A and B are shown apart, each in its own frame.
Chain A
Amino acid sequence: MRAACVIVGAAMLGGALPVVAQRSLVVAPVVSLAEHRVDAGFGIERSLGPILGGVGTLPFGSRLTLAVRALGGSLFGSKGVLDRDVGELGVEASVATLPWLSLQAGAGRRAYATKLGRQGWTTVDLGAAARVPFAGGAIHGVWRAALFPVVSVSGLRGPDVAFRAATGLEYRVRTTTLGVEYSLERYDFPAEAGVRRLEQLSGLTLLLELRLR
């Protein structure tokens, strides 16, 4: 039900986008090779697979931008590990504080589904992104870091440690930007019955930003 609300909300945001298209909307199809690792006391379960989706970014003024993302894919388990599907919807606001630094705040809803069950994640993140130009501004090096002060996982207590780190490059050619990024999310849950659950999602992501007029 909560996931449905998130999806409806995202759809409403998506529906509002054409109304403000004159603000130079940027859309970016995303393809990612993601690896999910979980250690719930029974050894490390590893699954790997592609995730596809898109990100829409809309500037409000010269400093504020709002981004909406929708991603989905399948992660194929290694030996003895169940395959799982993953889907995610999220929004993120970004405020440029310096020419090279912006502060970010976002919220997301992610769901993992296997043939045995489904697990929903709701997260709120706060972080920063540094973008440093080189090669005369045609290329940017990107560093991102964020903490998740709010993580709600169905059937689990919230993690003690939750963060995301990412780095990559953006190559700009006229109105198009090709991005390549390595990212990693890490969640350390508190021990229950002597077992500490660790979970991690990492990925190599390619995205192609297209600036629409």
Chain B
Amino acid sequence: MRRLAWVVVLAAGASPALAAQGSTAELLGQAHQFYERLEVERALPLLRQIVSPNWPFEVTPDQRVDAYKYLGACLAVAGKRDSAVLYFRAAIERDPFTDLDPSLFTPAQLATFGEARRRTLAVAVRPVQPARVDPRTARVTFTVVATHAALVDVKLSASGAGPPLSLFQGTMDGVREIAWDGLLADRRLAPAGRYTLAVAGRSRITSGSDSARVYFDLRHEVETLEDTVPDLDRGRLLPERISAEAARHDVPKGLGVAAAALLIAGAATGDLGGGERAGAAVVAATAAVTGVVAFRTHRRHGAIPENVAANARRRAERDSANASVRGRNADRIAATLLLVSPAAGKGTGP
């Protein structure tokens, strides 16, 4: 029972807003029907109610523009040209993209609307549509409009960074699509961030001027980049020089071999009257000399050519691997996709 009571209360709270929109849309629909039946005198009061400040219900911008447009159209049919121009201008000022379909409106209405456009300069940019663009093969497009012939300047700038990029500068009249290749003035791919597209126009008919701007967010979609091979630290490289301590060990090692040779030749063969002792002596002498020479040599030079070569080989392998990684990463970066999405905010003026 309590739940039911809550539903009733919520429904009662929500209904006025729904009813308000419904009322405006309903009234606008009725006005359209009267207009299509050429009952202009019955349509006009309904349309005037909608644009009246006293109209108690919510009116969306599109509904308001539509109401002004049909007010202009009705008044043009009724022969009230000046009033029609006034209402058409009101529609154009609120939405410079407003236009009349030649298949639905009479030549007189079109001419009156044309007059309104000539008297009113307004420029605008359509809100940016979400898009996924490969800048190598496609372009980001923006739609701008000038209600009559005007010198128009379209500039793109990253919010709070760098000079703006001029996308268009010249005379235009009506709607125009402007393509952007995703590059900034320095011919580098535009970094991710928030961007502003600003349009400024100066009439070539009147002395009027107007401006508009939209905002959009730009993101990059890049395949995950590979990490390069880290620097070869001491643990991954062989020692290239012999330490003084290691060099000192060379002498006892050589003497160890010498002692073993003499021991084998002497102690083990006593009852057979010795054995090839000259051979043992040769090995012992060679080992002792080798130990001493190695010690002296490494104290002076100490380089280990094999390790130096092995380390150079490892460094070359690492460099080669990193060059490959960098190449693959460059290919991935070159294939970056731009993700465009509209951002909150819309404005006029600089």
Contact = CB atoms under 8 A, between A and B. Distances in A.
B276 A137 contact: no
B287 A136 contact: no
Interface residues of B, number: 38
A158 to B, nearest CB: 19
Interface stretch (B32-40, B181-189, B290-298, B327-335): B290-298
Given A33-B279, A181-B283, A182-B279, A137 B306 contact: yes
Interface string B250-274: 1001101100110011001101110
Contacts of B208: none
A165 B283 CA distance: 14
A186 B268 contact: yes
Nearest to A141: B257
Main SS class of interface, A: strand
A139 B294 CA distance: 9
Contacts of A180: 282-283, 286
A44 B257 contact: no
A139 B276 contact: no
A132 interface: yes
Given A44-B272, A200-B275, A135 B257 contact: no
Contacts of A134: 246, 249-250, 253-254, 291, 294
A190 interface: no
Interface stretch (A59-67, A117-125, A166-174): A166-174
Given A33-B276, A168-B283, A198-B271, A182 B261 contact: yes
B273 A202 contact: no
Interface string A127-141: 000001011111101
Contact of A165 (B268, B286, B290, B307): B268
Interface size class of A (residues with CB under 8 A): 35 or more
B279 A203 contact: yes
Given A135-B250, A182-B282, A202 B275 contact: yes
A209 interface: no
A101 interface: no
Interface in B298-319: 298, 302-307
A167 B306 CA distance: 25
Contacts of B280: 182, 202, 204
B242 interface: yes
A132 B253 contact: yes
A92 interface: no
Contacts of A135: 242, 250, 290, 294, 297-298
A202 B264 CA distance: 10
Contact of B287 (A44, A141, A165): A141
Given A44-B273, A200-B275, 7 more contacts: A132-B253, A134-B250, A135-B297, A136-B306, A182-B283, A183-B264, A203-B276
Interface of B: 242, 246, 249-250, 253-254, 256-257, 260-261, 264-265, 268-269, 271-273, 275-276, 278-280, 282-284, 286-287, 290-291, 294, 297-298, 302-307
The 10 closest A-B pairs by CB, nearest first: A204-B279, A135-B294, A136-B304, A167-B260, A35-B276, A202-B276, A182-B283, A202-B275, A134-B250, A141-B257
